[in-house]
Structure 1
Amino acid sequence: MGSSQRQHHNDANCVWVHGPIIVGAGPSGLATSACLTQQGVPSLVLEKTDCLASLWRHRTYDRLKLHLPRQFCELPLLGFPPNFPKYPTRHQFVSYLESYASRFSIQPRFNQAVRRAEYDRGLGFWRVQTQDSEYISRWLVVATGENAEPVMPDIPGMNMFDGPVVHTSSYKSGFEFKNQRVLVVGCGNSGMEVSLDLCRHNAIPHMVIRNTVHVLPREMFGFSTFGLAMTLLKWFPLKLVDKFMLLVASFILGNTDQISLRRPKTGPIELKNVTGKTPVLDVGALPLIKSGKIKVVEGVKEITRNGAKFVGGKEKEFDSIILATGYKSNVSTWLKGCESFSKDGMPKTPFPNGWKAEEGLYTVGFTRRGLLGTASDAVKVANDIAQQWRSINNGYNSHVIQLKET
């Protein structure tokens, strides 16, 4: 079963968990629980909201599809339905996660926001506190992921703006911004797709590009760009694969420097591995940038009551502002007394070894490699905990047998 058996102590709000506590009921938490279930290990999944996959369900825009083909986004032990398209929609992905939870009998405990988790060295167990309970276990799996909270940039004058300021976590459709002049802060995948969506609803997006960015076609020669890169990396050095990808991208997309999308000096795959910065996979925004329907603007110096002043000195008026500034981990706000995470809430040990920390602490979903990294970590974590679980239970059973013989 995905949910562990629980034994209540004298304190009604103190819960002993026989298996690991998993914090987060997104893809990372579900994958870990499923892998543990397959190994015969119970687990308890704590989720701060009232549903599983809340980020995908409530904080994504309507037109979102998976950026990678479905075979690179499957969780362990269960593939996507064969009738799903190559790039499933967010609704299809949520339905897949619901089926996944049902298949492995995963029953998260909802509305349990973890306020504090700390290892009790005297007891030798983890104490996890929510608003109404304390959970105790030998193991703790942090599965809240890299995208737990929206990043809100500190731009001078933001509170002075007369119009709406919306983070992409609250953005649903360009219909709400029809015929408006919209400042889109951010040029990653979200910024590009939101700008594209705004154009399709007759809005005029102005996309802020402060830094360099790699833009690649979603497919090359009929194959997924990501899949092609993964295949080539099995045979060729990373830098050579990067050069090949950029050569093909230049052939398909043209020189993006000419439309103010300057590429970093480091190749796209190497940059992703080192910094976690994902290249943009173009799904239609680039032609609109070339045609001028999506305006490209430089960094914002200051937000004014009616618009924005830019670094180069220009000033423009806008009706709305959309912040496509991404997400961040929130682990540092609730995981205490732990040296395994940095201040920004990411494991200090780099991939591929960041999944295991000290004293029964594990992480899933922090690889900066998407759902493929999540699946890999979930399997490793479950195998490691299951080995300890069997050792503990075998030792307990042997002790019971000895007592009976005595």
Structure 2
Amino acid sequence: MDTIIIGGGQSGLAAARTLLDAGLVPVILEAGDHATGSWPHYYDSLTLFSPARFSSLPGMPFPGDPDHYPHRDEAVDYLQRYADDLQVEIRTRTRVTSVEVDDAGGFIVHTANGDQLPTAGVVAASGSFANPYVPVLPGQEGFTGHLLHVADYRTPKQYAGQRVVVVGAGNSAVQVGYELAEVATVTLATHQPVQFLPQRIGGQDIHHWLTTTGFDDLPPEWLAQIADGTLVMDTGRYQGALESGLINRRPMFTAFDGDRVIWSDGTSESVDAVIFATGYRPQLDYLEPLGALDAGLPKHVGGISVTTPGLVYVGLEFQRSFSSNTLRGVSRDATYVTAPLAAHVRKAFAAFGG
């Protein structure tokens, strides 16, 4: 095989498209039943923060009104149609367990089905949804309430009338906290105050300005100097909910104690549920045999492995820019890593005796 792409979500599909355009023949290995990535598993009310016109992969515009904000299920349908239209081999229910270097300068990809698949190049596009990050606090194991990560949250119905703490200051935390506040008493527990970014500026959605100004292409190293935290896109309703008291915000609690949380001021409060919206970590354990990781994180520059020729990444958060792991931005990163990967597959080193 020219190249094996590990992961059949938006990152894997974008990579497949750019590899095809480069004249390579990729094969996608997807652990799930469909090539739609993590989208089917997000909470029921999830709505994209980018309008349809800014939520497309190359070659297939997102359907519907270009200015509408697609629902989770629309994204699932879109990715499935995109996968069907690609005309590449996609092996679903195929979980990769490890990747090893072979004697010919390529790789052997091992799967849970017992397959050993030789390939010249590997694209790690497995995302992070299956690896949610939950911080560990004192007393956490003994907490008697309901504790979960937002990856396991679906609907507010089961929390009606309850006292709920949502941990996090990002888009998911605020969106989930807002909808829970309709049926429950909700507090956002954050280390810093929530920072809002207007959804519309000058009559245009913020994504118009992110793309036309080039902000989407700024490298993470520059972004770190102009933004000191997570920004929540908001039409005004989320900020209004905090200002009106519909949602309460408090500094992050320090510990659990039975059915209670201990707040930073030393007071304690009984709560029914704590939902961590604390992000994810790359799901890349299968690359451990290559020595390509450092504490589970990839050693890379812009998605190109610095340890293993022929290995590239697509879909890492802030891989090259603010939009790296989004529908609108992932294809730019896929294009960036395709040229060196294609050179490796075509044995560019051999021309110089390598």
Q: Shorter-chain-normalised TM-score: which range?
A: 0.7 to 0.9
| Aligned positions of 1:309-324 closer than 5 A | 309-324=262-277
- The aligned residue for residue 48 of structure 2 is 66
What is the CA–CA distance in structure 2 between the aligned matches of 1:74 and 1:292, rounded to whole Å?
Answer: 37
Q: Where does structure 2 lack aligned partners over 5 or more consecutive residues?
A: none
Secondary structure at the counterpart of residue 334 of structure 1: helix
What is the CA-CA distance between 1:41 and the residue it aligns to?
Answer: 2.3
What is the CA-CA distance between 1:286 and the residue it aligns to?
Answer: 1.3
Contact 1:367-1:373 at 8 Å conserved across structures? no
TM-score by length of 2: 0.85
User: Residue 365 of structure 1: which of 315, 318, 324 is its match?
Assistant: 315
Aligned pair 1:345/2:301, yes or no? no
Identify the range of structure 1 (143-152 vs 24-33) with the bigger mean alpha-carbon deviation.
143-152
Change over 3 Å in CA distance of 1:272–1:163 after alignment to 2: farther
1:366-387 deviation digits (Å, cap 9, x = unpaired): 2522323311122234444456
Letter in 1 for 2:277: A
Change over 3 Å in CA distance of 1:206–1:274 after alignment to 2: closer
Letter in 2 for 1:133: D
What is the CA–CA distance in structure 2 between the aligned matches of 1:26 and 1:273, rounded to whole Å?
Answer: 31
| Aligned positions of 1:160-239 closer than 5 A | 160-200=142-182, 202-233=183-214
Contact 1:365-1:373 at 8 Å conserved across structures? no
- The aligned residue for residue 115 of structure 2 is 133
What is the CA–CA distance in structure 2 between the aligned matches of 1:107 and 1:278, rounded to whole Å?
Answer: 38
What is the CA–CA distance in structure 2 between the aligned matches of 1:208 and 1:124, rounded to whole Å?
Answer: 49
Change over 3 Å in CA distance of 1:149–1:188 after alignment to 2: same
Secondary structure at the counterpart of residue 115 of structure 1: strand
User: Residue 326 of structure 1: which of 250, 260, 279 is its match?
Assistant: 279
- The aligned residue for residue 303 of structure 2 is 354
What is the CA-CA distance between 1:147 and the residue it aligns to?
Answer: 4.4
Contact 1:354-1:367 at 8 Å conserved across structures? no
What is the CA–CA distance in structure 1 between the aligned matches of 2:275 and 2:132, rounded to whole Å?
Answer: 12
Change over 3 Å in CA distance of 1:156–1:348 after alignment to 2: same
- The aligned residue for residue 234 of structure 2 is 282
Contact 2:310-2:344 at 8 Å conserved across structures? no
Identify the range of structure 1 (24-33 vs 142-151) with the bigger mean alpha-carbon deviation.
142-151
Q: Where does structure 1 lack aligned partners over 5 or more consecutive residues?
A: 1-17, 239-266, 396-406
Change over 3 Å in CA distance of 1:140–1:273 after alignment to 2: farther
Letter in 1 for 2:242: I
- The aligned residue for residue 17 of structure 2 is 34
What is the CA–CA distance in structure 1 between the aligned matches of 2:116 and 2:169, rounded to whole Å?
Answer: 42
- The aligned residue for residue 26 of structure 2 is 43
Backbone CA RMSD of aligned residues: 2.8
User: Residue 270 of structure 1: which of 219, 223, 247 is its match?
Assistant: 223
What is the CA–CA distance in structure 2 between the aligned matches of 1:272 and 1:144, rounded to whole Å?
Answer: 29
- The aligned residue for residue 264 of structure 1 is none
Letter in 1 for 2:122: L
- The aligned residue for residue 335 of structure 1 is 287
Highest CA radius of gyration, 1 or 2? 1
Contact 2:34-2:80 at 8 Å conserved across structures? no
Q: How many residues matched?
A: 337
Higher strand share: 2
- The aligned residue for residue 3 of structure 1 is none
Change over 3 Å in CA distance of 1:67–1:203 after alignment to 2: same
What is the CA-CA distance between 1:273 and the residue it aligns to?
Answer: 8.2
Letter in 1 for 2:303: G
Contact 2:312-2:341 at 8 Å conserved across structures? no
What is the CA–CA distance in structure 2 between the aligned matches of 1:272 and 1:228, rounded to whole Å?
Answer: 19
What is the CA–CA distance in structure 2 between the aligned matches of 1:82 and 1:347, rounded to whole Å?
Answer: 40
What is the CA–CA distance in structure 2 between the aligned matches of 1:387 and 1:334, rounded to whole Å?
Answer: 24
- The aligned residue for residue 375 of structure 1 is 331
Change over 3 Å in CA distance of 1:141–1:190 after alignment to 2: same
TM-score by length of 1: 0.75
Contact 1:192-1:285 at 8 Å conserved across structures? yes
